[in-house]
A = this chain, B = another copy of it.
Amino acid sequence: MHDDSEVAVLRLGHRPGRDERMTTHVGLTARALGADRVWVPDNAGQSRDTVADITDRFGGPFEVDLTDSPQGIIRNWEGRVVHLTMYGERVQDVEGDIRAAHREDDEPILIVVGAEKVPFDVYEEADWNVGVTNQPHSEVAGLAVFLDRLFEGRELEREWADADRTVVPMETGKRVEEVDEE
């Protein structure tokens, strides 16, 4: 979140016509749950546009960008790299070390979220390969649980700047208010 050192999400791999919604949900989850930015592959322009549109309407700051070199982003990242994979170490065993690196050592954190096959280089370049369970489920679910644990729930208290609208929590029903900023 913006009071800490940066947390970025990198979506690795995207098959057009098949992954649009998953890649969009990765981006929206990164935004809603406290990351500062997301990169998506350069063939995922539709997902990029949707995330940018939500940020325009519901607020930021949050950056979404295309990249033609996801592995370049990993190699050049000045901080620590977490790769989420069902083959990795158990999140409950390593989350404390990752939080300490982020919060005590002010290390920026890059969270890599794969689609299907992830090149073996990524496993080697990551500082941590982390499994949110060692079961097959969803990269969106894994990212969500990881962010909630990294921030220990502080991301839920985040305030949003430059929003056109805001949702007011309700016991029953829906309330959306326009935000009238000076």
Chain A interface (Cβ < 8 Å from any Cβ of B): 18, 21-22, 25, 28-29, 31-33, 54, 58, 86-93, 120, 123-124, 126, 129, 131-138, 140-145, 148-149, 153, 155-157, 160, 166-176
Contacts and interface: CB of A to CB of B under 8 A. Distances in A.
Given A144-B144, A156-B133, A138 B25 contact: yes
A141 to B, nearest CB: 4
Contact of A32 (B90, B133, B166, B167): B133
A66 to B, nearest CB: 20
A79 to B, nearest CB: 19
B91 A131 contact: no
A137 B87 contact: no
Given A135-B32, A148-B145, A88 B21 contact: no
A77 to B, nearest CB: 18
Number of this chain's copies in the complex: 2
Contacts of A135: 28, 31-32, 54, 58, 160, 167
Contact of A144 (B58, B141, B167): B141
A126 B32 CA distance: 24
A36 to B, nearest CB: 15
B133 A87 contact: no
Q: Nearest 9 pairs between A and B by C-beta?
A: A141-B144, A25-B138, A32-B137, A134-B167, A32-B135, A28-B137, A29-B141, A87-B174, A140-B140
Nearest to A87: B174
A71 B144 CA distance: 28
B89 A54 contact: no
Contact of A137 (B22, B29, B124, B157): B29
